[in-house]
Amino acid sequence: MTVETAFLLAAFTSPENITMTPASMLWMFPLLLSIAIIYKATKVRVIFWAAFLKSVVILFLTLTAFMIAAAVLLNLAVWILAG
């Protein structure tokens, strides 16, 4: 095993430290965009760019709205249950 491989494997032994700030929620958007692109790319046989981009944007906005609604509802439930 080379030194580079050992360092690469050691990087996976501890989790990444992600702070819990409102700004950290912005990392959700690149993830949602990549999910939308990959999902739509695997579902079509031939990619027509205009239709593909339109469907990716619609799916991205749908996923974003769902994630924001889920965050609001979960925070509301915690706020109600914690009293």
Residues of the chain with pLDDT > 70, as a percent, come to 100
The verdict on residue 47 lying in a domain is: yes
CA–CA separation, 78 and 13 (whole Å):
32
| Number of separate domains in the chain | 1
Residue 71 lies in a domain: yes
Asked, for residue 5, whether it belongs to a domain, the answer is: no
Question: How far is residue 39 CA from its own chain's centroid?
Answer: 13
> For 5-43, how does the pLDDT look when each residue is reduced to its tens digit (9 = 90+)?
888 888 888 777 777 787 888 888 999 999 999 999 999
Both structure tokens of 15:
């989790």
Answer yes or no: pTM beyond 0.75: no
CA distance 39 to 63: 12
The count of other CB atoms within 10 Å of the CB of residue 30 is: 9
In a domain, 22, yes or no: no
pLDDT at 75: 92
Query: Does residue 73 form part of some domain?
Result: yes
Residue 45 lies in a domain: yes
DSSP per residue over 12-29, as a string?
TSS------SGGGGGGHH
Q: Which domain holds residue 33?
A: 27-83
